[in-house]
Amino acid sequence: MKDKHTEELLKQQVLDILNEDKNPQIDKKRPKKGKKKKYRFLKATGITLLLILVLLLLMVGTKPGRSLLYKAASKFVYNNVQHNEPDEEDKEVINRRKPSENVVREDYVYNYLVFGIEEIGGARNTDAMMIGTINTKDGKVKLTSLLRDSYVDIPGYKANKLNSAYSKGGVDLLIETIEKNYKIQIDGYASVNFEAFENIVDLLGGVEIELGKEEAKYLNRTNYISKKSNRNVVAGVNKMNGNQVMGYVRVRKVKTLGGANYDYGRVVRQQRALGAMFDSLMSSKNLLKIIPISTQALSYVKTDLDQKQIEKMMEAVIENKMTKLETFRVPVDGAYEAPKKHNGIGYPILLDWETNRIELYKFIFGYTEEEAKAALEKVK
């Protein structure tokens, strides 16, 4: 009985639909064919836009959603950087680096070596060396500059300046040297050569840097700016191209705007140039401009980080809302000597290692004085 009743209802519904098509009154109310298509199109578009909006809200507003964005962004970065494929010289030392021992490490801190390579006259020195730190405990991104002339122990070689380690054994030996002397774990690296550095600045359309009177005069009369046509900078704010910025960051014999000199002045200039490059990129609100610039700029960078590590780094920065960059320098004031010669090496910087390590730990890990001393005692 129940099935028969259901069958009758279905028949009646079919008849009603057929009769409805024949009813002229209903035909008058029905929209015309063109309007009907337009209505369907608008409805479909509206639903699509609503779905996109919901997806964006889910992706940005929820951690699982943001994880998808981190995966996509890290894949973009990984696909555009150069990966660590050793050249013939590096192959000889590729197995030199041993697992980190006697170094300070914390689960909430990631340390990455960032360095620039100068290849002039066949030399392969690292004139810019920095430790980029992500501290998820205090929610800060930090940048520590290591002075190139710091006198260090180099595993397998005589003690020498820090910037000579790379030429002797590539990035593996450089990282091992930093870990041995500064007693801090390095989790990965990113490098760029100075020629590529010029190209990146030019991709950004140049950057604004303020020069002192002495700096401008020096840059215009020396070959630090390699192209003579670019030796036209002035005291005050300059819109500088890549060749000019490259000359600026290499200067060390003239005081910076603010009074820093020699290696210390060079470190200040490097940090100012990086800050200006970051500001230049972020000032462009046009995504269509940022993406190609980022793609080409990343192609000049070489790293040993895999996609998962890049994703983890991005997540740490964004989830902890890290928007400020803090800077530091080793050696710290009052904890070094700078003789004209030491053990046959000209103008090295001799560090008071205990003091500098303690100050470094306080900066990177957020330790108290007592905690820093205790950490150092464990790895001596």
Backbone torsion region of residue 123, taken as left when φ is above 0, otherwise alpha when ψ lies between -120 and 50, otherwise beta: beta
> How many residues are recorded in the chain?
380
Q: Which two tokens stand for residue 345?
A: 């090496």
Residues of the chain with pLDDT under 70: 1-66, 84-99, 119-125, 259-263, 281-291, 323
- Give me the numbers of helices (H) and strands (E) for the chain, helices first please: 14, 15
Q: Which two tokens stand for residue 61?
A: 């507003």
pLDDT value at residue 323: 65
pTM, entire model: 0.73
Q: Which two tokens stand for residue 123?
A: 């030399």
pLDDT value at residue 5: 53
SS3 at position 130: strand
pLDDT value at residue 277: 82
- Residue at 112: amino acid letter: Y
What residue segments make up the domains of the chain, in order of their start?
Answer: 1-30, 69-379
Provide the CATH topology of domain 69-379.
Aminopeptidase (3.40.630)
d(CA 165, CA 185): 17
Backbone torsion region of residue 206, taken as left when φ is above 0, otherwise alpha when ψ lies between -120 and 50, otherwise beta: left
- Residue at 103: amino acid letter: V
